[in-house]
Amino acid sequence: MTSNILITVLTNIDASKSLNDQQWGLLTNQARSAKLLGRLYYLLRQSENISFIPQSIAWHYLAAFKVAERQRRDAIREAFEISQALIQKGITPTFIKGSAYAINGLPITYGRLMSDIDVLVSKNEISTAESALFACGWLKTKMDNYDEKYYRQWMHEIPPLRQLARQTVLDLHHNILPLTNKHSFDANMLSKELVQHTAIKESYTLSEIDMVIHSTVHLFTESEFNNGLRDLSDLDMLIRHFSHENDNFINELVARANQLGLAKYIWLSLRYTQLVFKTPIADASIRQLNYNSKITIHTSSLDFCFLNIFKPDHKSCTDWKTNLAQLILYWRGHFIRMPLKLLIPHLLKKSWMQIKDRFEKDKEPLDHMN
Amino acid sequence: MDDDTISASNKPILLKIGEFTFRISSSLKFVIEDIHKLYGDFIEQTPIDTNENLIDFEIKVDRPNTIRRWFKPQVCLTLNEKMPFKPLPVDHAFAMLEWGMNWCIANHAHHYLMFHSAALEKNGKAVILPAPPGSGKSTLCAALAHNGWRLLSDEIAMISLEDGLIYPVARPISLKNQSIDIIKSFIPNAVMSKPAFDTHKGTVSLLKAPVDSVKRVYEPAAPAFVIFPKYKAKSQATLTKKSTGSAFIELADNSFNYHVLGKEGYEATANIMEQVDCYSFEYSDFDQAISLFNELAK
């Protein structure tokens, strides 16, 4: 068994039957670092392997699952509140990412940690949506003027909103890619489906294909990959689930990526789900992508970066290559996000703000009890 | 090498506290000294064959590898390789460890319903003392724990979701500001950690748990009372009956994970309410307080 025991077990859940205590300890730590402990619990439960977890640490798994379950229920509840607030103003919201998985009851939602609710509306509806949400207690989070201006001018979402009473955070989007990304496209082209949930009316989620498109674009335009492995596991589970329901899913996904000009991103996503999670994807389908995927220096360097990044963030799996991959991907993320003439002033400004913070925020209290 | 730094060959300390296994390491000499001073009984009773492959919480308390190692020196707490908190001044290292251990339990042990409250037991009757900071909860807890009551916990009362009993952790009691000297004079042989000055809670010092409470850390206890204490200068110790309804709300409000548990949390709280008498309690004098509590436990 390799040191990356988390991937071994996620790709073959029955491998959990024959782990020794040392391997269980390592698996648990890797899964927790990767924010996949709740998902691992769910998969162990679905495959009836729960009883193989050593008794003294089994509670960690159950607890992680409980936290995720609470977040899943909260997401559905918030989606209800948000849709009520927006529908009154004639806006039909589209729920994306974690909230969409929760509303649609996809297998991926179980055990999955969520930090915020993501909603998509049209760009011209943003200010109406913002004031409708304000009336329901969603207030702007504290942000300095520079960041606020940056968000408003260049990003695909407005600064996060926080619910006054419940503290949940909402990201209000008008697109799925920053406007400065050269692949950014009109968000009206995304295809949507009416939500089939008893409580949440007149709301959309993205179609299954566009859900994978969005999840892909989101992951592969990042510059920081703290949840990289979790996000890739999301893609693996989405693709497996949708392919199970529709034999032709991958081919439709490929066609859609070509149509939206996102072939390169889908190529990355299919390549790395396949390489890391052994997601069943026919090579013939990948070849249909409008992307030249010959093995070149470019591909080898992408492989170096992503295969070193899509690992548990745990000392048993990380080394100098992880750090180098992080550094390269950090810059890659920034270069795809915006052209150099915007990027350089932005990074200079951010570095200066960080240096200032380091000295000024000395006394910030920790969040703990007495 | 700094004179408060000890050699790296020093082995991590294994602590079995109730069902939780902590493995703690630090190269700060004063931290290690305080751990031995305050957790000595736990170290002694941690089974020699504890399975080191299955540690619940791996904690490191050390200076950061940045300029802040020397310049206005700080300390960082690492939990399972992550740093959940901002660094603190290095003198707060032991207090930080305590807060970190509280945080470990409160943020993970969702197989319990957890209240931010002290809990003690006498004659098989356990009392839960929920109270906001500044109410004198820990001070009262310290006085009772050294006068015939068994300490279950000073910070976190853990109620099992399976059997409704309180499972002890019996860790040190966290005293703040004036309480430190008050307890020192009330409990002459009190063993306490070096005080940490100027924390966001003022001065903090930890009081060692009585050895009997540590020995009985595997013995759960049934809740019999929920008492909301309030220190009030010059007051006579008085217990006032409290309605179950308002006690329920205040108790749930004091929970770390009522929200996480949802319906399970509601049911567990309701179950406690069916078994206990609820009071609010005003006091200024320990002897009066203790004799009133002893009456209850008869």
Residues B114-132 pLDDT 10s: 999 999 999 999 999 998 7
Contact assessment for residue A28 and residue A60, using Cβ atoms and an 8 Å cutoff: yes
Q: B8 in a domain, yes or no?
A: no
B148 and B169 fall within a common domain: yes
Residue of B nearest to A65 (CA): B110
- Chain A residues interacting with chain B (CB cutoff of 8 angstroms): 20-22, 24-25, 29, 32-33, 54, 56-57, 59-60, 62-63, 66-67, 70, 73, 314-315, 361-370
Can you tell me the distance from the alpha carbon of B117 to that of B132, in angstroms, rounded to the nearest whole number? 9
Supply A258's token pair: 């070509």
**Final residue of a structural domain among B82, B108, B134:** B108
Q: B194 in a domain, yes or no?
A: yes
- Residue range(s) of every CATH 3.30.460 domain in chain A: 67-206
Confidence at residue A363, expressed as pLDDT on a 0 to 100 scale: 40
How many folded domains does chain B comprise?
Answer: 2
- Is residue A370 pLDDT above 80, yes or no? no
Best of B59, B72, B104, B111 to substitute, by most chain A Cβ atoms within 10 angstroms, is: B111
Name the more confident of A361 and A176: A176
- Is residue B3 pLDDT above 60, yes or no? no
Q: How far is B126 from chain A (nearest CA, A)?
A: 22
**Final residue of a structural domain among B93, B108, B123:** B108
Name the more confident of B168 and A226: B168
- Please report which confidence band the pLDDT of residue B9 belongs to, taking 50, 70 and 90 as the band edges: very low
* ipTM of this complex: 0.89
**Final residue of a structural domain among B69, B90, B108:** B108
Best of B50, B78, B86, B263 to substitute, by most chain A Cβ atoms within 10 angstroms, is: B86
Contact assessment for residue B293 and residue B149, using Cβ atoms and an 8 Å cutoff: yes
Nearest to B54 among A21, A361, A369 (CB): A21
B217 and B240 fall within a common domain: yes
3-state DSSP assignment of residue B158:
strand
Contact B111 A62 (CB under 8 A): yes
Q: Length of chain B, please? A: 298
3-state DSSP assignment of residue A92:
coil
Element (H, E) at A170: strand A169-173
- Is residue B83 pLDDT above 50, yes or no? yes
Q: What is the pLDDT of residues A333-349, one digit of tens each?
A: 888 877 777 777 777 77
Confidence at residue A354, expressed as pLDDT on a 0 to 100 scale: 76
B145 and B287 fall within a common domain: yes
Rounded average pLDDT over B157-164:
96
Best of B19, B51, B54, B266 to substitute, by most chain A Cβ atoms within 10 angstroms, is: B54
Q: Where do runs of H (alpha helix) occur along A290-339?
A: 297-309, 320-337
Contact B155 A32 (CB under 8 A): no
Residue of B nearest to A26 (CA): B53
- Is residue A112 pLDDT above 50, yes or no? yes
Nearest to B102 among A20, A25, A369 (CB): A369
Q: Which CATH class is domain A67-206?
A: alpha beta
Beta bridge partners of B57: B22
Name the more confident of B221 and B233: B221
Within 13 Å of residue A242, how many CA atoms lie on the same side as its CB?
21
Choose among B146, B191, B151: nearest CA to B169.
B151
Nearest to B81 among A33, A56, A73 (CB): A33
B277 and B131 fall within a common domain: yes
Q: B293 in a domain, yes or no?
A: yes
Rounded average pLDDT over A277-284:
94
Can you tell me the distance from the alpha carbon of B159 to that of B170, in angstroms, rounded to the nearest whole number? 14
Range of the domain at B93: 13-108
B137 and B227 fall within a common domain: yes
- Is residue A2 pLDDT above 70, yes or no? no
Can you tell me the distance from the alpha carbon of A80 to that of A98, in angstroms, rounded to the nearest whole number? 14
- Is residue A364 pLDDT above 50, yes or no? no
Between chain A and chain B, the number of residue pairs with CB atoms below 8 A apart is 75
Q: Length of chain A, please? A: 370
Confidence at residue A336, expressed as pLDDT on a 0 to 100 scale: 80
- Is residue B207 pLDDT above 80, yes or no? yes
Alpha carbon separation from B183 to A21, A370, B137, B141, B145 (Å, rounded): 44, 17, 13, 10, 11
Q: How far is B216 from chain A (nearest CA, A)?
A: 20
Choose among A185, A85, A72, A77: nearest CA to A132.
A85
Contact A67 B260 (CB under 8 A): yes
B71 and B118 fall within a common domain: no
Contact A66 B260 (CB under 8 A): yes
Chain B residues lying within 8 Å of A60, measured CB to CB: 56, 108
Nearest to B174 among A33, A59, A370 (CB): A370
Rounded average pLDDT over A210-239:
94
Q: Phi and psi (nearest 5°) for B228?
A: -95, 105
Can you tell me the distance from the alpha carbon of B257 to that of B268, in angstroms, rounded to the nearest whole number? 12
Q: B65 in a domain, yes or no?
A: yes
B56 and B81 fall within a common domain: yes
B63 and B136 fall within a common domain: no
Q: B164 in a domain, yes or no?
A: yes
B128 and B104 fall within a common domain: no
Best of B129, B260, B263 to substitute, by most chain A Cβ atoms within 10 angstroms, is: B260
Alpha carbon separation from A219 to A36, A191, A264 (Å, rounded): 16, 20, 13
Confidence at residue B8, expressed as pLDDT on a 0 to 100 scale: 47
- Is residue A356 pLDDT above 80, yes or no? no
List the beta strands (DSSP E) in chain B. 13-17, 20-26, 57-62, 74-79, 88-89, 112-122, 125-130, 150-153, 156-160, 166-167, 173-176, 196-199, 202-207, 222-231, 238-241, 277-283
Rounded average pLDDT over A94-115:
95
- Please report which confidence band the pLDDT of residue A1 belongs to, taking 50, 70 and 90 as the band edges: low
B163 and B99 fall within a common domain: no
